Amino acid sequence: MEQPSADPHIDAAERAALYRILALRRDCRHFTPGPLLPDDQLARLLDAANQAPSVGLMQPWRFMRLSTPAWRARLAPLVEAERQATAQALGPRGDEFLRLKVEGIREAAELLAVILAPDDGTVFGRRNMPVEMAWASAACAVQNLWLAARAENLGLGWVSMFDPDALARELGLPPGARPFGLLCLGPVPAFYAAPMLEQEGWRQRQPLERILWGGSLAPCPDGKS
Q: Which amino acid is at 63?
A: F
- pLDDT level of residue 216 (50, 70, 90 thresholds): confident
pLDDT in tens, 89-141: 999 999 999 999 999 999 999 999 999 999 999 999 999 999 999 999 999 99
Looking at the structure, give the CATH architecture of the domain made up of residues 39-189.
3-Layer(aba) Sandwich (3.40)
User: Which is nearest to 104 in space by CA: 84, 128, 124, 75?
Assistant: 75
pLDDT at 222: 77
- Domain limits of the chain? 39-189
94 touches 140 (CB < 8 A): no
Of the CA atoms within 13 Å of residue 164, those in its CB half-sphere come to 11
Angle, CA of 196, 27 and 55, to the nearest 5°: 140
pLDDT at 102: 96
- Per the prediction, the chain carries an average pLDDT of 95
**SS3 label, residue 20:** helix
19 touches 10 (CB < 8 A): no
Over 90: is that where the pLDDT of 6 sits?
no
How far apart, in Å, do the first and last CA atoms of the chain sit? 57
